[in-house]
Amino acid sequence: MKIRNQFLKTLVVWAMPMLFMVSCGDILDESLENEALEGQVDYTISEDMELVIYGAYGELNFLQWETFPVIAVRGDDVNAAGDQFPLIETDEFRYDRSFWMYNSAWQNLYTDVVLWNSSIEAIGKYKEAGANASRADQYIAEIKVMRAFEMLQIARLWGKVFIVEGTDLTALLDQDVSTFEEVMQYISDDMDDAIPNLPNVRPNQRTDIENGITRYTALAVKAMANLELKNWQGVADATGEIIGSGLFELYPDFYQAFNIPGKNSNESLLELQYSDFGLSSGTSTRYLWNFFGPSDYTPAVEGIGGGWGFWEPSVKYIKFMIDRGEQERLVGSVNFTPEGIAELESDAAYNPVPAFITNVSPDGDVFNNHPRYNFQSTKHYLPSTQMTPGRTTFGENNNFRVIRYSEVLLMHAEALVSGASSSVMSADEAVNEVRSRAGLPAISGVTLDEVLDEKYAEFAMEWGIRFYDLVRHNRTSELDYAGRTYNEGEDRFIPYPLLQLDLLPQLKETNNNE
């Protein structure tokens, strides 16, 4: 009984904002918010249905800073460079289930799922009360894509997890966890249900909800789930539909693809939206870029702030890129300090480093030495020269990239070299389109090794893609580097958070790595 009472207290915290999500404070006025929380919503006021979808997007954009590093820290592409020792241990496959970031990521992701379930229920009530049925079905489909993407992250982290479809969280007390494969199939099926109701355009072509979710976002999430199921034909079919639409293209400059010029480009299938509204001061919406930003640098524009320096590209990744003759993507992925360059040159095979490697960015920002790191992620750094004049908070006004067209192309290639077929594009064509932007020559007869290498070069420091690729193809020996040892059958999934074991006793009986 004590466990049940403690769990129900947690539910109260989760459920308080459930009916209407108020992340977009400029959209929901205080009177409506209070009315909603008191359960007095008038569902016959059809125009208020829009408030629910705006709130759902607000929740998607409100990605808490600690969630992403838990998702993405493992792999041979990135190091946890901060003062969170258990995060560094996580990167080295030594897991501490009492680590606060595990529990926070679990709660953050599942809270989103429950809030979105509540939104779906609310939109259904507006539809029943006479709101435009096709618009309601579209909004529900958009929310299903948000939910599916985060369910994908939950399962990638913990393996056997709960599929939560309603808002009555007390039901979890008696619910069994679903297997990793069951969750992936659930996501794929849910996307099949959502796709017919979604706009048939690029996100940046939408006029009703700016840069909102479309059928192609759903197809990409479906492809990701089928990738984990090793349903290669399912991946090829979903990515082939995106490619065959002819709507998407790679942003021509890899470096700028992650900066203001590349915001909501034709490459984007999903990115979290932030803005300072072009104003020198006042309210802004922003991701906490401080986690990634340099702690000691000399910005080209005086007065621009820095960050915590917690996200460091690995030396292994940098050497891999130098060995491949990469310049465009290396400059667009790694910022170097003088000590970082010296570390590379301490290996005779990399002394001297290529001339383009310096501690000065293409925009003139200078990266100084720092005891916490020798390198920084360029993908998570905004040049000071691109800040809105008057703004000084690091990274402000930049979006957070989530799904890029290059990932669609390389998932397509991965499926084809693994046995799928396609009449839309060959594996060679898909890989070479990505290589062309990087300034690399075309190759032919592409193999799985070459596809995985291309993904390594393209997606380092992004969403744990490298780690999940290696695990999926049983290439985990690559993870044994710099003192790390990955144990098959033990290290694929992180342990359930200790606090959740106390709240949900059935987790204690589950070995999520079996």
d(CA 488, CA 471): 9
Mean pLDDT, the chain, as a whole number?
A: 92
pLDDT of residue 319: 98
Residue 92 in tokens: 């080295």
39 and 252 Cβ atoms separated by less than 8 Å: no
Last residue of a domain, one of 398, 427, 454: 398
Give the max Cα distance, the chain: 73
Q: Is there a single domain that holds both residue 192 and residue 289?
A: no
pLDDT of residue 29: 33
Task: Give the count of domains, the chain.
Answer: 2
Q: Is there a single domain that holds both residue 6 and residue 103?
A: yes
Mean pLDDT of 333-348: 98
Indicate the residue type of 340.
Answer: G
Closest Cα partner for 53 from 121, 119, 144, 124? 119
pLDDT of residue 107: 95
In a domain, 437, yes or no: no
Q: Is there a single domain that holds both residue 191 and residue 309?
A: no
Confidence of residue 17 (pLDDT cuts 50, 70, 90): very low
In a domain, 206, yes or no: no
pTM: 0.93
d(CA 381, CA 275): 16
Query: Crossing angle of helices 215-229/180-194, nearest 10°?
Result: 160
Residue with more model confidence, 29 or 200: 200
In a domain, 190, yes or no: yes
Tens of pLDDT, residues 214-262: 999 999 999 999 999 999 999 999 999 999 999 999 999 999 999 999 9
Last residue of a domain, one of 373, 398, 423: 398
**CA-to-CA dists, residue 298 to 174, 370, 383, angstroms:** 56, 12, 11
Q: Is there a single domain that holds both residue 279 and residue 175?
A: no
Q: Which domain holds residue 138?
A: 2-198+492-509
Assess whether pLDDT exceeds 70 at residue 511. yes
pLDDT of residue 10: 37
Q: Domain with 78 in it: what CATH number?
A: 1.25.40.390
Q: Is there a single domain that holds both residue 387 and residue 285?
A: yes
Confidence of residue 39 (pLDDT cuts 50, 70, 90): low
- DSSP result, 250-300: --S-TTGGGSGGGTT-TTEEEEE--B-TT-SSS--B---GGGTS-SSEE-S
Closest Cα partner for 502 from 181, 71, 106, 167? 106
In a domain, 205, yes or no: no
Instruction: Give the HSE-up count for residue 263: Cα atoms under 13 Å, Cβ half-sphere.
Output: 15
| Token pair 């829009």: residue | 50
Indicate the residue type of 156.
Answer: R
Last residue of a domain, one of 344, 366, 398: 398
In a domain, 259, yes or no: no
Tens of pLDDT, residues 271-314: 999 999 999 999 999 899 999 999 999 999 999 999 999 999 99
In a domain, 448, yes or no: no
Mean pLDDT of 88-108: 97
Tens of pLDDT, residues 358-379: 999 999 999 999 999 999 999 9
pLDDT of residue 169: 80
Tens of pLDDT, residues 147-198: 999 999 999 999 999 999 999 888 888 899 999 999 999 999 999 999 999 9
Residue with more model confidence, 36 or 57: 57
